[in-house]
Structure 1
Amino acid sequence: METIRTARDAVKGKILEGFSATPYPGDEHLVAVQDGTDPECREIEGAFKGKDWRDVSVEMVRDHKDALPLFTPAAFRYYLPAYMTGCVESPREVDVALDSVLFNLTPPKKRSGAQWDLFWARAQRFDERERKAIRSFLELMEQDEIEDWASAGMKPPKSRVKSALAYWKGL
């Protein structure tokens, strides 16, 4: 149990360090739909406006577990560490936020089209320190998945993390 806590603390430290200089995108650059017509975007904008990513609680990550796709690329870069930290600290309490993080860090199979363009617009914004933190997070999540299945005496199915980890390791 102590080893797991130590690993989680180490990854959390890498996230905090890796994203320490990530700039806030600005209040007017938080959500993809800027005209105020989308109620989900309005809700996300209201919740995150002016909020430092380090002040986003596990409860807020859980409550806004579906927010990542609604962020602009700059806001995605800025708030991703809050989501990763929440998943590291309290993987069970964040509900399906971990699934959202993994989905949003996994490149589409087809490297063209709208899905790829959105993924690439986000991925290219991360600097090397941030990418290193993302890799550490994904490695921990892969290890967690393997250990969860092993604790049940089962072999894990196809990894949810493998494609994302392969992409981020290749950068």
Structure 2
Amino acid sequence: MNFNDIVDNLVRSFDHEPHPGEANIVYDNSGYHLEAQAIRQAFTPFTWQAMPPELLHEEQSCLGFLSRAGFKYYLPAFMRLALTDYHRADMIPDNLVFSLTLPIEADIIASAIDIKRDQMDEKMPGVDWNDILQSQLQSLNQSVHEFIARAALFNSDQGRVIYQFLAHLRDEHSDDFLNQEPAVAIQRYWFQFA
């Protein structure tokens, strides 16, 4: 599927998405988080359809500061820019793929704890390695939970266009992703929308 078809599908599936409202663009509206406050102020005047490319370039690292509703609402603006002007999009495709990938740090943490336990059991016989694992997984669970909570907001048409976007990156720009990150994102979650 060429990128123009994906852009058409993107516009069609996100076109009637309601704006989250100024108070729900970023995850922190306390006034103490200066970067979140700046992003909210910059994004408030724009619908996702009217986001200036310059602003998207300027705020290309903002996805992590958006609330769940803000992420869902502004995601298509970033995706459209990555599709229509990939080579000038800079880090936007990488940031999108990262934000759309289900974390698997649980496997890494569990493996690291197993290795550490095997190495240290004789030196530290009374250590409860399950407590250490649970402590590590607790922080990871927040990141997995956040991904699932955001992903659950997308309807099937929106999920399908996210899959198409990731498949396009996988097929057309695989050389730009050393670890095949778009394919990994698809395999971990978005395959279900193929």
Give your verdict on TM over 0.5.
Answer: yes
Q: Which runs of 5+ in 2 are unaligned?
A: 107-136
Partner of 2:181: 160
1:157 positional shift = 4.3
The one-letter amino acid paired with 1:93 is R
Partner residue of 1:99 out of 85, 94, 103? 94
* Distance in 2 between residues matched to 1:87 and 1:60, nearest whole Å: 14
User: Which has the larger Rg?
Assistant: 2
* Distance in 1 between residues matched to 2:192 and 2:157, nearest whole Å: 14
Which structure features the higher share of helix residues? 2
* Distance in 2 between residues matched to 1:105 and 1:136, nearest whole Å: 12
Q: Which runs of 5+ in 1 are unaligned?
A: 1-5, 150-155
1:57 positional shift = 2.5
* Distance in 1 between residues matched to 2:91 and 2:178, nearest whole Å: 18
Contact 1:14 1:136 in 2 (8 A): no
* Distance in 2 between residues matched to 1:157 and 1:36, nearest whole Å: 38
* Distance in 1 between residues matched to 2:60 and 2:96, nearest whole Å: 9
Normalised TM-score (structure 1): 0.86
Partner of 2:191: 169
Contact 1:18 1:132 in 2 (8 A): no
In the alignment of these two chains, the number of paired residues is: 159
Contact 1:31 1:70 in 2 (8 A): yes
The one-letter amino acid paired with 1:35 is S
Q: Percent identity?
A: 25
* Distance in 2 between residues matched to 1:58 and 1:10, nearest whole Å: 20
**Aligned-CA RMSD value:** 1.8
Partner of 1:69: 64
1:8 positional shift = 1.5
